[in-house]
Amino acid sequence: MKKMIIASTSTVHGSSYLEYLLPTLTSFFKGIKTILFIPYARPSGISYHDYTTLVSKAFATINLDVNGIDEFENPITALQKAEAIFTGGGNTFELVNQLYKNEVLATLKEVIDNGTPYLGTSAGSNICGVSMMNTNDMPIVYPPSFTTLGCIPFNINAHYLDPIKGSKHMGETRETRIKEFHVFNETPVLGLREGSWLEVLGDEIYLRGKLTARFFQKDKPAIELQIGNLK
């Protein structure tokens, strides 16, 4: 049975890395000693080592050890043997590029579908959907495909922002961009606001946190989804 937390962000304003999620992660990872971390997204271009160190410090506060997938000679075997998996945020294009380059995307989906607990934040959440096509990131590299895990039947737009009333910003809103996506694509999109996350238990998907989420479907008005079971 799938067991996932799909979070919009790793850090909310005024808190340290993963701090707002740690109470939830304490119970989510109960009975687990070591997390396998996938650092491929490299926020701000940091090294895998530095990223893993940052993550290790956060998880140490709840007595969990962290190993980076890049530390293993065979990343497929590392995924198959992992007690739990965390994929952090950064650039989704590079994350997906490396998942394909290291030939681990199919194995990652397999172990998640078989019940290995999975945490994703930001880019690590974007890959949980049908495709990565609703990321906000710059295309700094060109992955072989935009197809991702498909662990949930819609795409994620992490860090979803609502239009600010009275703002003089002339750029496109997130809703505008998603409408553009739906001219050419059928996949629904969930706009996940900061500090919110999805909890996936088998086929059940729950919205957690304090904020609603905005759900977009092709040729239909956007709707606000309330906290709780999304079915």
| Beta-carbon count within 10 A of 117 CB | 22
13 is catalytic: no
Of 56, 113, 159, 182, the active-site residue reads 159
219 is catalytic: no
Bridge partners of 120, per DSSP, are 6, 87
Ranges of H-type helices in 18-149: 22-28, 48-60, 75-81, 92-101, 105-113, 123-126
Comparing C-alpha atoms, which of 6, 7, 53, 5 is closest to residue 29? 5
137 is catalytic: yes
Of 10, 122, 125, 131, the active-site residue reads 122
200: left (phi > 0), else alpha (psi -120 to 50), else beta? beta
Which positions are catalytic?
A: 122, 137, 159
